Amino acid sequence: MTQTAPDAQPDTQSRLDLFIDRMVSQRACLDFAIAETAAQRGPIFELGLGNGRTYHHLKTHVTGRDIYVFERAVASHPDSTPDDHQLILGDVRETLPAALDRFGATASLIHADLGGHNREKNDAFARLISPLVEPLLGKGGLMVSSDRMYFETLEELPLPPGAVPGRCFVYRR
Ligand code: SAM
């Protein structure tokens, strides 16, 4: 599959515009992925807890599935902090391979929002972790990412209504 470098940032968009587009796109893509995978029982993996907003969204809208959060340093809102048994603490470069040993290819939904403000660094990190994320997704599972991923076997899906191209990406096994 041909895959390009991160999308250029349009000069006409402010950081506020970009932030709003990212938030709106995350919600649209998460809602789409939650609905598409609703019949599956495999665990959900949230990569990057941050403030915990997207974790809280998952927790609020998903039933009947375990949600595990991968984070190197917890600093979330108290309402959005997972219990210890749901938290996989450490650098994803180490915890994702360990999760493959523990869970196998069973995840029904993986959401990644690991990036910071530097788009080149985010792209390099997405390239690095793509092969660590890819084997965790179960058959029919969906992966939602704020950064373009570089998968060998997953199909990139069209974005759902409301999502802004380049601000979120959806992949299916
Ligand atoms: N989606 C979150 C929310 O709605 O609040 C925001 C996530 S924030 C942008 C990114 C998070 O990823 C940070 O908490 C950071 O510590 C975490 N992170 C970044 N690189 C990581 C790594 N290599 N291993 C584990 N966590 C990482």
Domains located in the chain, CATH noted: 15-172 (3.40.50.150)
Distance (angstroms) between ligand 1 centre and the Cα of 31 equals 20
ipTM: 0.99
Contacts of 31 (CB under 8 A, 6+ apart): 61, 160
pTM of the model: 0.94
Which amino acid is residue 20, in one-letter code? I
Of 19, 45, 58, 113, the residue with max ligand 1 atoms within 8 A of its CB, to mutate for a pocket test, comes to: 113
**Ligand 1, CB cutoff 6 Å, lining residues:** 48-54, 70-73, 91-93, 113-114
Please give the chain's pLDDT, 173 residues, in tens: 444 445 555 578 999 999 999 999 999 999 999 999 999 999 999 999 999 999 999 999 999 999 999 999 999 999 999 999 999 999 999 999 999 999 999 999 999 999 998 999 999 999 999 999 999 999 999 999 999 999 999 999 999 999 999 999 999 99
Q: Phi first, then psi: give them for residue 91, nearest 5 degrees.
A: -75, 130
Task: Give the whole-angstrom CA distance, residue 156 versus residue 169.
Answer: 7
6 Cα to the center of ligand 1, angstroms: 19
Give the list of residues 6+ apart from residue 6 with CB closer than 8 angstroms, or none.
119, 120, 122, 123, 147, 148
17-111-172 Cα angle (round to 5): 105
> Could you tell me how far CA 90 lies from the centroid of its own chain?
17
Specify the residue with its C-alpha closest to ligand 1, atom 8: 50
Residue in 71, 111, 119, 146 to alter for ligand 1 test, most ligand atoms within 8 A of Cβ: 71
Q: Of all protein residues, whose CA lies closest to atom 17 belonging to ligand 1?
A: 48
- Token pair belonging to 70: 């991968």
Angle between the 15-36 and 53-61 helix axes, to the nearest 10 degrees? 30
Cβ atoms of 136 and 105 within 8 Å: the answer is: yes
- Best residue among 26, 27, 91, 114 to mutate for probing ligand 1's pocket (most ligand atoms within 8 Å of CB) is 114
Amino acid at 123: D
Contact 134, 172 (CB under 8 A): no
How much distance in Å is there from the Cα of 127 to the middle of ligand 1? 16
Separation of CA 42 from chain center? 16
CA of 159 to the centre of ligand 1 (A): 23
Q: Measured between alpha carbons, how far is residue 126 from residues 5, 117, 157 in Å?
A: 11, 14, 18
Q: What is the pLDDT of residue 6?
A: 53
